[in-house]
Amino acid sequence: MGGRWRRKKKQELLVVGSEYRERRRSYWLWAKKIKSEEEIIRKRKDAETAELWRKGFDMGELRDHRDWGMHEFSGGKDCLLVVQLYAKVGLHRYNVLEGTNLQLHEIEKYNREGTYMPARYYITLLAAEEDPSATPASLVTFQTELYERKCCTLNLTCLIARLKGRTKSTGNMGRHFRDDRDLPEWPDDKCSSRFLYEVMESEWEENDWIGLYLQVAIVTTDRRDYTYKPNLSGLKILNVVVETEENLPKETLLKCFPSVVVYISYDQDLGGDNGVCKRRAIVRRTVDLISKCFCLVGDTLPLP
């Protein structure tokens, strides 16, 4: 009798122990599954965050973007001068390559990557063909990305210039494109071996990118912080010479997109009793033939 009872008790203990181990195994599998799902969700969020970060233009879904160094700003008519000029640089690239004549109407918004200078700008703007005061029906939304490589000097790379929604891309080509060469010396009468073209006043007025390059050079060279706003209304171009790497017709030089160096002599009215300052600017445009990204490197100099 005693032996039969002990065998029955032992069988019950085996059944209870088996159920306990089974429950324990089930819990372990459930916990492992939950952890795996959480890891998948985390990786997906990280990927989405990285994608938003990579795109840079629409950061509204990225709540912690300020911790990443991305800062959102609204646009409007009173937007910072440097942002407006960078937007025009992006439009300039698009117009030359696409044969359009889009003009800046208004900055819609922009994101700046970087707390301090230099920084990367993702600018969303409204533009119109030819007429900057166009009606809302004729406006298009445009996006451009520009990267400052140095502060207190002109060293700017335009990476993206496109209509919003058109994501034609060359991949990462152009992402590392840069121009770190020293600027050339100001040309003189002894530069017979260089391809130099003197640009007439009517020509630089027709090709407004020359004046744009001058304004960008002045703003970036003298810039002390993000809010710097020099007076550009008193600028007067006196003389323009363009240098190319090869012998090109002047029409091709001005209307197409080759790599060039622009030498500009100008007067700058400083206002009040400060008088007029005579200066020079050198701006080199270097174009990547594959991605069509381009760099602007330049400086402003006093007359010798």
pLDDT digits (tens, 9 = 90+) for 119-129: 899 999 999 98
> Is residue 59 a part of any domain in this protein?
no
> Is residue 61 a part of any domain in this protein?
no
The answer to whether 76 touches 109, Cβ cutoff 8 Å, is: no
- Sign of the Cα torsion 214, 215, 221, 222 reads positive
> Is residue 93 a part of any domain in this protein?
yes
Residue 19 has pLDDT above 70, yes or no: no
Cis upstream peptide for 230 (omega within 30°):
no
Shared domain check, 265 and 118: yes
* Range picked from 1-5, 18-22, 43-47, 149-153 for highest mean pLDDT: 149-153
> Is residue 62 a part of any domain in this protein?
no
Over range 137-159, report the average pLDDT: 90
Strand partners, 299: 282
The answer to whether 295 touches 286, Cβ cutoff 8 Å, is: yes
> What is the tally of structural domains in the chain?
2
Tell me the residue range of the domain where 138 lies. Answer: 70-302
pLDDT of residue 171: 45
> Is residue 172 a part of any domain in this protein?
yes
Residues in the chain, how many? Answer: 304
Shared domain check, 29 and 91: no
Lowest mean pLDDT: which of 39-43, 73-77, 129-133, 198-202?
Answer: 39-43
pLDDT of residue 63: 47
Shared domain check, 106 and 12: no
pLDDT of residue 225: 66
Strand partners, 127: 104, 140
- Sign of the Cα torsion 217, 221, 227, 232 reads negative
pTM (predicted TM-score): 0.77
